[in-house]
A and B are shown apart, each in its own frame.
Chain A
Amino acid sequence: MFPFAINPEKAVEELARFNKKLTAGIKTFTEVGPIESGVSAKEAVYREDKVTLYHYTPRTESPHRVPVLVVYALVNRPYMADIQEDRSMIRGLLDAGLDVYLIDWGYPDASDRYLDLDDYINGYIKRCADFIRNRHDIYRINVLGICQGGAFSLCFSALHADRVRNLVTMVTPVDFHTPDNLLSLWARGLDVDLLVDTMGNIPGDLLNITFLSMNPYRLTGQKYVDMVDLLDDPVQLKNFLRMEKWIFDSPNQAGEAFRQFIKDFFQKNGLIKGTIKIGERRVDLANITMPVLNVYATKDHLVPPDASKALKQYVGSSDYQELPFNGGHIGLYVSGRSQKEVPPAIANWLKERG
């Protein structure tokens, strides 16, 4: 049988409908207005260089006494965790009674070219953690690391175990050499020294292209063709554009930190080999003796589940638990189902551990 039932009338009708939607869509576009994101109320409580520590306004009368510090990746912006009212992991944590802080790394420029991982982990993260400890008059806080921020949180917890009560890692790469880790495969042949020495800071656009090239035709083609169906719905269009804004809102990466991260983590797989040195100290995952909750996404194409689950073998904690989410790397934060499943589970796990 001829595999096409696309007769001329139908084809013309389809394309005319497509055009009509596009034309009508212009009205929706003009009415959409500015794309705001980062919806939960928050206050900047500490600043240093381009880093800002935010404290989210609690949404329960007496939030849990141990605050949570969210450590996001350097790649992309942290408002993904609070992207819109009905799609906000932060809001979910607040509603579940947690007191939440978040580090916003800002947009590094040429003056930040020589920031290294020591500056980020033993510097910014440590000082943000100390600020919260002093503010709440407690010795140890809870830390929640996301993706690359999760890897940073692991290093921080291993180096400063006395400051961390409980550790939550989300879609965090630990074993960078699992066979399905495409980013790692691509990174291994790169001359990172040449790249950083040439580019200085690594442009966010370059990272965008790298991420998009994992599904280039779907992410740069089909997605926009399908967007036409959203054009008559301002709310859906705004949600779409909000995600678009986040995807392309990619800060440049401080050159030295990028060099170190690609070489030590991606190329040498140093986190599980115990060869990474941050400042003068070696990161040994066995030093992570506090309770650990490892959240991963079963359909994660950026950080494959096996890359995250490897943590179990190396961590020193006797209280290690995993929380798999049936979805992708971004879906873990923005899908409707994750809102119901993930933040409450994290909050309960933290509360159970005091």
Chain B
Amino acid sequence: MDNNPFSTDWMKGWSDLQQKMWEDWSDVTQNSWAKTWQKETPMNFFREGMKNWPGAGAFGSAPQTPEAMAMQNAMSSMEGFMRMGREVFKVFQNLTESGAASQDWTTQLDRIIQQTKEMFAKSGASPLAAMGNMPNMGNMGNMGDLSAMWSTPMKAWTDMLSSNPMFSNDIMRSMLTGGQSADELMTRFLSMPGLGPNREKQEKFQEGLRLGLEYRKHFEEFQTLMNQSTSRALDLLHRKLLEVGAEGKSLQTLHDLYVLWVDCNEEANAATVSGKEFNEVNARMTNALMRVRKHMGDVVDESLGTMNMPTRRELDSAHKQISLQKKRIQALEDEMQELRSKDSSADINALRDDMEKLGIRRLREEVADLKRQLQESLLADPVEPPGSLAEASTSANKKTVRIGVNKASGAAVGSTQKGD
């Protein structure tokens, strides 16, 4: 290894060392921790897991434990930080070789910032390219190693986004990365009128592509905004570094630089996402994404239906019916509970009051008079009518006429009951 710390040989040795340490560590984690903690998870925990999990597709992603997810994010960030260290080293190496560190470092800094901004601007033409290691998206290789440094804080974020089932469907990804020639093909295909017995299928497929292209357009708008935000973050970093230099201070560690860069990104991001434009673009993109997914769901549902398999629509319908039944049952239970717990003494008292108002004593006397008159008339006329009035008269001694109030009509009603 050369004694000059910024020489290429030294750099290569150092870089190899970093790589080896990282790989060793990853091996250790795969072979030991994965076995001890993730015994039941059939995935190669760190690197392989990070590669494979996002690709699992939107329809059947295996659930991940919170711990595993946290570690996935942690590994992504740590790897990014170390990569950043390597790239920063290269930048300093270039600065040293050009003598900029001791001479016109501000011009060199301007140049680096400018180059990086151009790099991000270029990536804007190819959506997602700036968003890091999303699977099948070029892995930022076209942006050079320097991009890795600047995208470090973004990487964990984009890894997380790409691992979300909503964003990770292969079909949608291919729509997003089709490129210009694919666009032309699609446009030509979309202009074809539907023909023959497959007309409906063709139209549905065309509709899906149309929605996909619409989503792509809105995603590009979103990506452009995000790239602008990164560009602003670079401007902020530039300004803050100049301020640090002007104050005669300096960043002491790579971690200091990393934190400053994160701060700049957060500041730029906050300004972007709180703006009206972002809200509109974000809403358009999300709504377009939902339209694509809705269409895809409908198509899948239709296919399932032709195979006599349960569809989402049928399941939803069943769940809705169950939900309505549950509500009805609950309402009935509530009503029963209310009736059970209701204090009926107030009703009884009210009934007694009603009876008092009706003058029950007077009514009883009237009934007794009527009975007396009836018995007297029967005695005066010994011929018994059919239906045994005599029986009625004897049983009348055991029964009393009760007077109540029909709550519905308010009219007095009479009934006979045993005893009093």
* Chain A residues close to B by CB (< 8 Å): 1-12, 14-16, 18-19, 22-23, 26, 29-30, 35, 110-111, 113-115, 119, 123, 182, 185-186, 188-191, 194-195, 197-200, 203, 205-206, 209, 212-218, 220-225, 227-228, 241, 244-249
CB-CB < 8 A to A197: which residues of B? Answer: 294
9 closest A-B pairs by beta carbon, nearest first, are A189-B283, A8-B5, A224-B77, A244-B70, A114-B323, A217-B153, A224-B74, A248-B66, A5-B250
Q: Does B189 contact A (CB under 8 A)?
A: no
Contact check, A198 vs B66: say whether CB atoms are below 8 A apart: no
Show 9 residue pairs from A and B whose CB-CB distance is below 8 angstroms, ordered by the A residue.
A6-B252, A6-B257, A18-B82, A19-B25, A30-B33, A209-B160, A221-B262, A222-B77, A248-B66
Which residues of B in the span 257-299 have a Cβ within 8 Å of any Cβ on A? 257-259, 262, 265-266, 269, 273-274, 279-280, 282-284, 286-287, 290-291, 293-294, 297
Contact check, B279 vs A6: say whether CB atoms are below 8 A apart: no
A205 touches which one: B37, B164, B246, B248 (CB < 8 A)? B164
Min C-beta distance of B276 to chain A, whole Å: 8
Q: Does B417 contact A (CB under 8 A)?
A: no
* Chain B residues close to A by CB (< 8 Å): 5-6, 10, 14, 18, 21-22, 24-25, 28-29, 32-33, 36-37, 66-67, 69-70, 73-78, 80-82, 85, 88-89, 92, 101-102, 105, 152-157, 159-161, 164-166, 241-242, 244-246, 248-255, 257-259, 262, 265-266, 269, 273-274, 279-280, 282-284, 286-287, 290-291, 293-294, 297, 312, 315-316, 319-320, 322-324, 327, 330
Contact check, B282 vs A189: say whether CB atoms are below 8 A apart: yes
- Cα–Cα, bound, A166→B284 (Å): 43
CB-CB < 8 A to B265: which residues of A? Answer: 217
CB-CB < 8 A to B254: which residues of A? Answer: 6, 11, 14-15
CB-CB < 8 A to A212: which residues of B? Answer: 157, 160
Interface of B is mostly: helix
Min C-beta distance of B219 to chain A, whole Å: 15
Contact check, B80 vs A30: say whether CB atoms are below 8 A apart: no
Contact check, B33 vs A220: say whether CB atoms are below 8 A apart: no
A203 touches which one: B33, B101, B166 (CB < 8 A)? B166
Contact check, A26 vs B251: say whether CB atoms are below 8 A apart: no
- Cα–Cα, bound, A119→B297 (Å): 28
Contact check, A221 vs B319: say whether CB atoms are below 8 A apart: no
The residue on B at minimum CB distance from A29 is: B33
CB-CB < 8 A to B28: which residues of A? Answer: 23, 26
- Cα–Cα, bound, A198→B262 (Å): 35
Contact check, A244 vs B250: say whether CB atoms are below 8 A apart: no
Contact check, A6 vs B253: say whether CB atoms are below 8 A apart: yes
Contact check, B248 vs A1: say whether CB atoms are below 8 A apart: yes
Contact check, A213 vs B36: say whether CB atoms are below 8 A apart: no
Contact check, B85 vs A4: say whether CB atoms are below 8 A apart: no
Contact check, B249 vs A15: say whether CB atoms are below 8 A apart: no
Min C-beta distance of A186 to chain B, whole Å: 6
The residue on B at minimum CB distance from A19 is: B21
CB-CB < 8 A to A220: which residues of B? Answer: 73, 77, 156-157, 159-160
CB-CB < 8 A to B10: which residues of A? Answer: 8
B67 touches which one: A14, A30, A225, A241 (CB < 8 A)? A241
Contact check, A225 vs B77: say whether CB atoms are below 8 A apart: yes
Contact check, B70 vs A225: say whether CB atoms are below 8 A apart: no
- Cα–Cα, bound, A331→B217 (Å): 40
Min C-beta distance of B239 to chain A, whole Å: 11
B255 touches which one: A9, A23, A209, A225 (CB < 8 A)? A225
Contact check, A190 vs B287: say whether CB atoms are below 8 A apart: yes
Task: Choose among A9, A119, A246 the residue with the greatest number of B CB atoms under 10 Å from its CB.
Answer: A119
- Cα–Cα, bound, A153→B66 (Å): 29
Contact check, B273 vs A182: say whether CB atoms are below 8 A apart: yes
**A2-B101, A3-B241, A11-B92 known, 9 other contacts, Cβ within 8 Å:** A1-B245, A1-B246, A1-B248, A3-B245, A29-B33, A113-B320, A188-B283, A189-B279, A217-B269
CB-CB < 8 A to B156: which residues of A? Answer: 220-221, 224
Contact check, B21 vs A30: say whether CB atoms are below 8 A apart: no
Known: A6-B88, A15-B254, A221-B152. A248 touches B33 (CB 8 A): no
